[in-house]
Amino acid sequence: MNNPRMTLYGIVAAVVLIVLSQSLYVVGQTQQAVIIRVGEVVRTVNASPDDGPGLKLKIPLLETRILFLKINQPLELNRREIITGNQERLMVDAFVRYRIDDPVRFYIGLGDQRTAADRLNLVVNASLRQVLGGASSEDIISLRRAALTRQMREDLSTRANASRLGIKVIDVRIRSADLPEANQDAVFDRMKTARKQEAARIRAEGEQKRLEIIATATQEAETIRGQADAERSQLFANSFGKDPSFAAFYRSMQAYEVSMSRDTTLVLSPDSAFFRYFSKGGGG
C-alpha cells in the first residue's frame, strides 16, 4: 500500500521538478535573452533598462529562451588580399569589435553567433575592398591609415544598419597591411621619391614665402622711413620759421658733423665765426 503511494509521490515530484526546470531560467548581467514561442519572438530580457537580469519565468514546453552576450565582442578577420587604388596587392589583417544592440533583429537576421561571424566576415570584406580599394598603398601602409580606419568604421556601421543585423560596430582596426615581398622594394622606392619631391616642394614654398615676407617688410620699412623723414623735414621747417637762431644752430651742428670726421684737418682762427657755438653763450 505504501509502495504505490511513494511511487506516486515520486512521479509527482519528478513532474514538478521538470516543470520548474522548464519554467525557470537565469539571465546574467552580461547576457540578454530572446523568448521564442512557437517560432515567433514574444519578448526580450535584459535588452533594455526596464527589464534587468536575474531569475526569470517562462511557459514550459511552449517557450524557449536563447541567450546572447550583451558586452562588446571581438571578431577576428582572416588575412585577405586587397587591390589598392594604385593597383598594388596588399595583404591586410584586421579585426572588429561589435555589440548586439537589438537581439530581436540579431536573432531574425543571423540566428546565432557562428552565423553572425560568417555574415560579418562578408560585410567587413566588402567594406575593406570599398574603402581600401580607393586608396593608394602608400596611404594604407603609412600616411592615412588612421583616417582610412575611421572611414571603414563608418562604412561598416552603415552596411550593418542597412542590413538590419541588430549590431553596433564599436571599432575596426587594421593590424597590418603588408606588401608581397616581390613588390616591397619597388613600392618603398616610389614612396621615398614621393617624399623627397614633397619635401622639395615644401622647401621651395617656404623660400618663396620668406622672400615675400622680406620684400614686404623692406617696402614697409622704406615707407615708414620716408614718412619719418617727411615729418622730420616738416618739423625742422616749422622750427626754422619760428626761431631763426635755432636754424643757425642746427646748420652749424650739421657743418660740425660733416667737417669734423676722423680724416679731416681744419686750419681756422679760434675766433672764427665757425666756432661761435663753442664759446660761452654761443652767440645764439
Q: How would you write the pLDDT of the chain (284 residues) with one tens digit per residue? A: 457 777 766 776 776 677 666 778 888 888 898 889 888 888 888 888 778 888 888 888 788 888 888 889 888 877 777 777 777 777 788 888 888 888 888 888 887 777 877 888 888 888 888 887 777 777 776 657 778 888 888 888 888 777 788 888 888 887 777 766 655 566 666 667 777 888 888 888 888 888 888 888 888 888 888 888 778 777 766 766 666 666 666 666 666 666 666 666 666 666 666 666 666 554 44
Residue 110 phi/psi, 5° resolution? Answer: -125, -30
Grid cell, residue 114, equals 557562428
Q: How far is CA 116 from the centre of its chain?
A: 30
Q: How far is CA 86 from the centre of its chain?
A: 24
**CA-CA distance, 94 to 72, in Å (whole number)?**
17
Topology (CATH) of 73-179: Tetrahydropterin Synthase; Chain A (3.30.479)
Residue 284: per-residue pLDDT: 45
Residue 258: per-residue pLDDT: 64
Residue ranges per structural domain of the chain: 2-69, 73-179, 192-242, 248-278
From residue 237, alpha-carbon distances to 227, 240, 258 in Å are 15, 5, 21
Residue 64 phi/psi, 5° resolution? Answer: -125, 140
Residue 1: per-residue pLDDT: 47
Residue 140: per-residue pLDDT: 72
Q: Which residues contact 122 (CB under 8 A, 6 or more apart)?
A: none
